Amino acid sequence: MARIAIIKPLYRMTLTVAQLCGELVAAGHEPLVVFFKKQQLVPLTEFDPAVYDSGDVPMRGFFIGKNGLTVSDTAAWKRVQKGEMNKLINLLKEFKPDAIGFSSLSNSMTLCADMTAELRKHFNVPFLWGGTGPTLEPDRSMESADLVCVGEGEEVIVEIGDRLDRGESLNGIAGTWSRLPDGSIEKNPKRPVSDLEKIAVPNWDDKHYAFINGPFFFHPFKAGSRLEDTSYQIMTQRGCPFSCSFCVESVYQRDFGKKDSLRRMSPQKAIRELVHARDVLGYTSVTFMDDVFTVNPRWLDEFLPLYKEKVGLPFFCYTYPTTHTPELLRKLKDAGCMAMAMGVQSGSERILHDVYERKTNIARIVKSAQDIVDSGIHATFDMIPMTQFDREEDLQSTFELLLQIPKEMDASFWGEMAYFPNYPIMDKFKDEQLLASSGKLDFSVYEYYFKMFELTRTAMPVEQIKAIAADPRYRADHNLLNEFMRDEFHIVPSYGTLIAEAQAKLS
């Protein structure tokens, strides 16, 4: 039995490490998953670099209220303190790991490197890195790690455990890069993507988890208990039928093939997991984390009646403007869908088509939004209305779209595009024609339009909003718009918290 510790920096997305935990337990090994540090929203006016870290890829959101616009880092964390590292070191010494792994997103790569360097002072074991960050930057990861998982890690982590158990070398494992005894790096062949029917069910047993953040230290730890959203998260599908330039799925399609990257578990397997989540783990709502839950109507036609009969919990899911119909929405609602989010991102077809690689028709977005509202499902839509490729006409087009989207749907938030390494959107910066056609907008232009965007979500009649948009006084001084805004820091719920909001409205 191998003992493998997995450190998950920046406690938020918990499903990936729970999956690895399930694989190790099913294979007879002993995992310890440590959630280390928790992210938080920090207004930039309060962002002291001596106190907070924004990571390798800062995430910016714009929150608008009667006091104006507040720019915030939406995924910051308080810098690691010596006491936190001491708790981690003592916990690991008690666990006696045969290997220490890091599951990292792109924005925590430097944090993982610093932590790896510190832990090497205390542990003479292999250090393993995996996750989307190392998959995107294996060269950089190998500067710190002994082995990097490139791609999905279920089969890799089990093979690592088995080899550690037998005292064998970790070199030559498909789907990894590893360091050879002479210090050189071995780049092994890619491993085919996992068969979702064969992978283990995520393991959430408290004894396998710990949480460290500031003064808080819990072991055992109920994963999810210190998150704002306590809905049970599941992915019935991996991959996406679309190839948006800003999404990691486009990277996986490029590296593993679009056909192979898109797959779904059987309805029966998903139901078994969800019944366990309800009856054993005690969850009262479900969040489907599938990139687009509403694809594959034939799968849904089999799954939704089973879900209604055997699970019966309210649920949240994601949709896309071209993947749902009024009939499908009716079936979703009948099965328990109380909340959903639809990806929109922009009202500019130039940005959607040329920058985001989303060939979405604006009229279809409006129709799809209205269909959701008519279905009675509580919903939001996702927006990324600020990029480095914008012209003012693009912002104006987004405003015109928002005037048409029903007021019953709120925007999840107004955000700035985050540019992750090796994503296809990074190639857009090499497109001289696209760069030449883009404007270098002053931030005050965004401030005006973000407030106008927010105005479309208020109860103000559309004709009055149009009159304000036509009045040059507001364009000259966007602060005149503040009186029309909602309260400061109006934050829209998401996932299970959106379900709770829908339930509150019904009651």
Query: Cβ contacts of residue 139 below 8 Å, gap of 6+?
Result: none
Task: For residues 265 and 299, give the distance between their C-alpha atoms in angstroms, rounded to a whole number.
Answer: 10
Res 14: pLDDT: 83
Whole-angstrom distance, CA of residue 402 vs CA of residue 362: 11
Sketch the domain layout of the chain as residue ranges.
3-41+79-207, 229-425
CA distance linking residue 110 with residue 29, whole number of Å? 29
- Asked whether the predicted pLDDT for residue 223 surpasses 90, the reply is no
With 0.85 as the threshold, say if the pTM is over it. yes
Query: pLDDT value at position 242?
Result: 92
371: region left, alpha or beta (phi > 0 left; psi from -120 to 50 alpha): alpha
Distance CA 406, CA 394 (A): 20
In the predicted structure, residue 387 carries a pLDDT above the cut 90: yes
Find out whether 288 and 236 touch, Cβ atoms under 8 Å. Answer: yes
How far apart (Å, rounded) are the C-alpha atoms in residues 346 and 355? 10
Comparing CA positions, the residue from 150, 146, 161 lying closest to residue 116 is 146
Cβ atoms 380, 268 nearer than 8 A: no
Give residue-wise pLDDT tens across range 34-43: 999 999 999 9
Give 411-424 pLDDT, tens digit per residue.
Answer: 998 999 999 999 99
Q: Do domains 3-41+79-207 and 229-425 have the same CATH topology?
A: no
CATH number of 229-425: 3.20.20.70
Q: 3-41+79-207 domain in CATH 1.10.540.10?
A: no
